[in-house]
Amino acid sequence: MTVPRLFKNGIAVTGLVIIVLYVLIIIVSFFWLPFDPSEMNSQRLLEAPSFTSGHLFGTDEFGRDILSRIMKGTTVSLVISIAATALGASFGILMGIWAGYLGGRWDNGIMRIADVLFSFPSLLLAIFVMAILGENTYNVIIAIGIVYIPQFARISRGSIIALKSNEFVRAARSNGAGRTYILFRHLLPNSMAPIIVQISLSLSVAILLESALSFLGLGVQPPEPSWGNMLSSARKVMMLAPWTAIYPGLAIVTLVLGFNLLGDGLRDILDPRLRNVR
Amino acid sequence: MNNETILQVQGLMTEFRTERGIVNAVNDVSFSLERGKTLGIVGESGSGKSVTNLSILKLIQYPPGRITAGQVIFKGENMFEWSEEEIRTVRGKHISMIFQDPLTSLNPVIKVWYQIAEALRLHHGMSKKEAKAKSIELLKLIGIPDAEQRADNYPHQFSGGMRQRVMIAMALSCDPEILIADEPTTALDVTIQAQILELIKNLSREKSTSVIMITHDLGVVADMCDSVCVMYAGRIVERAAIDDLFYAPQHPYTRGLLDSIPRIDRAGGSRLHTISGAPPNLIDIPPGCPFQPRCEKAMNICSKQSPPEFIINGDASRTAACWLHAKEYNNG
């Protein structure tokens, strides 16, 4: 029933359309780009956007085509955000559901680790991890993933605790089900709603974190384009050639908006308390 | 009929540790169940009926609950000496349970057939296809129309009565030897109650399943059971064959319960009898008989010493835990 309801929710559909658009851009970018994103052209430095030159979004300080670089950067941003969320979600959920289900000493131990991670602001923690691991694309995924672990752990722990006293758990035990079976077959499917919403919102924050890390020079390293390092290099020439900053910025804003809208929409759909408000 | 004892509970004690003290929910309970027979366990809320039966399968959550003493002998083996894994092979396969509330006892996000087939998959390693076929068969058996389509439904698409039927199908899927029904009809309306009880009766007779029927409804007991244990404050106060209980109750508490049933054949206008007072707090049970403060026939000894179970008329299956039946007090 959830899928048709998703399409009735305007907010979620808007978000979904934006995300699908970006996915299409990625697919196109594998086969065709307007220009080679790393080809420099000293004759065409900081050219304003125009149809005649073919540089629809203009060129940067090395004469590289900004549209091509944004398209190439979309892959980097989206892949990092999805991989980091997957990493953080899988570890976080595993920790959280076992903590919530076992309770007692286990719960205490696991959640105190999560609390330690939680006590740092996300970006600071990500910078810290990057500083230890070194600057490259894979480490960005690990850094953002680590930032996400405590968030997913908390959410899944909470919903497992709320669910585990349900009568159906006892019924499953009386059927001869073991701990792992009950946890993964009975409890986890019931706690998916808040986790799905969290995944969607985490995808958007991951884009921001990745951009921030790349902007600070800790993330994706030039010449490989990413939205964050494009903004970083645009900083120096922003006043002269505003398009160097505006277009990568717009790309970030719209994709983040897309994930946030989808997340908000999903929350409205999946939260039974809000179901009949509209 | 052979009187083979299939399950024997001896000296069962279960306690719960709470902030206000230790609650002795089950206090030295013993009973036995014969193959193919139905045993009723009656008592008011909080008398320890459910905890007794959860203890049999060790389904008491360790903090706060704990089984402190006793034996559960199933087919000659003491299950309390078994490991959790060994007990798991009995749960749902040899001994299964039906719970009180069919609304919360089914998982809302799992399809009905899958829940019915759960025990089959866990104990017999059936493939999905086989398990589904078997669940459809079971759905037909319990009288769900359009079983093929209904198997793919989720629990919220079923009515309360149908859900309780599904619970029964779940419990009977592996042809257990013992079925523990924990107030299976309390959450249902009266017409559905009758259907559910009939279903349990027929299915258990067909497969000669032994049933432990936990209830607070003496009507259900009269309808279903061969023998009865009456529980009060975590103890069995009276045990009897079904007719003896209704025609010749021996414990003042049982008598009080029977008198509290509205009777259609009694002259109108008289007030309904009630047992005054409330069940004792199980945290600090006073010495003596737990029923003594509410008992109309309380004697001196009742507040001093807890009565043992006295055998009545020389029949070991007929007992009452009341000082009235001790030789020195029993002079008519």
Mean pLDDT of A34-41: 80
Spans in chain B with pLDDT lower than 70: 1-3, 266-269, 329-332
Nearest CA distance, B212 vs chain A (angstrom): 15
From chain A, pick out residues whose CB is under 8 angstroms from the CB of B170.
171, 175
Q: Give pLDDT, residue B268.
A: 64
Q: Among all chains, which residue has been given the structure tokens 């619970």?
A: B167
Nearest CA distance, B92 vs chain A (angstrom): 4
Task: Give me A51's structure tokens.
Answer: 């149809």
Q: Most B CBs within 10 Å: which of A101, A165, A173, A174, as the mutation test of the B interface?
A: A174
Interface contact B92-A176, CB threshold 8 A? yes
Q: Are B145 and B136 in contact (CB under 8 A)?
A: no
Question: Which amino acid is residue A101, in one-letter code?
Answer: Y
Q: Give pLDDT, residue B330.
A: 61
In this structure, of A81-90, A252-261, B140-149, the range with the lowest mean pLDDT score is B140-149
Question: Which amino acid is residue B309, in one-letter code?
Answer: E
For residue A202, pLDDT beyond 50: yes
Q: Are A57 and A67 in contact (CB under 8 A)?
A: yes
Q: Are B29 and B52 in contact (CB under 8 A)?
A: yes
- Residue B96: enclosing H or E segment and its boundaries? strand B95-98
Q: Give pLDDT, residue A28.
A: 92
Task: Give me B56's structure tokens.
Answer: 């049999």
Largest CA distance in chain A: 77
For residue A3, pLDDT beyond 80: no
Q: pLDDT confidence of A274, banded at 50, 70, 90?
A: low
Nearest CA in chain B to A104: B63
Q: Give pLDDT, residue B317.
A: 82
Q: Are A169 and A182 in contact (CB under 8 A)?
A: yes
Residue (of B307, B232, B237, B195) closest to B24 by Cα position: B232
Mean pLDDT of A104-122: 90
Residue (of A269, A273, A227, A271) closest to A251 by Cα position: A227
Question: Judging by DSSP bridges, how do beta strands B315-320 and B235-241 pair with one another?
Answer: antiparallel
Q: Give pLDDT, residue A193.
A: 86
Nearest CA distance, B239 vs chain A (angstrom): 27
Q: Give pLDDT, residue A14.
A: 92
Q: Most B CBs within 10 Å: which of A159, A160, A175, as the mutation test of the B interface?
A: A175
B20 backbone dihedrals φ, ψ, rounded to 5° = -90, 0
CATH code for residues A2-27+62-270: 1.10.3720.10
Rounded to 5 degrees, what angle do the CA atoms A115, A116, A118 make?
60
Question: Is the minimum CB–CB distance between B90 and chain A shorter than 8 Å?
Answer: yes
Rounded to 5 degrees, what angle do the CA atoms A204, A205, A210 make?
105
From chain A, pick out residues whose CB is under 8 angstroms from the CB of B108.
168, 190
From A171, A177, A192, residue closest to B105, measured CB to CB? A171
Q: Give pLDDT, residue A277.
A: 47
pTM: 0.80
From chain A, pick out residues whose CB is under 8 angstroms from the CB of B128.
none
**Distance (Å, whole) CA B275 – CA B295:** 8
Domain boundary assignment for chain A: 2-27+62-270
Nearest CA distance, A8 vs chain B (angstrom): 22
Q: Most A CBs within 10 Å: which of B107, B120, B167, as the mutation test of the A interface?
A: B107
Q: Are A213 and A127 in contact (CB under 8 A)?
A: yes
Q: Give pLDDT, residue A66.
A: 87
3-state secondary structure of A177: coil
The interaxial angle of helices A66-102 and A10-31, nearest 10 deg, is 130
Q: Give pLDDT, residue A197.
A: 87
For residue A2, pLDDT beyond 60: no
For residue A278, pLDDT beyond 70: no
For chain A, how many residues are written?
Answer: 278
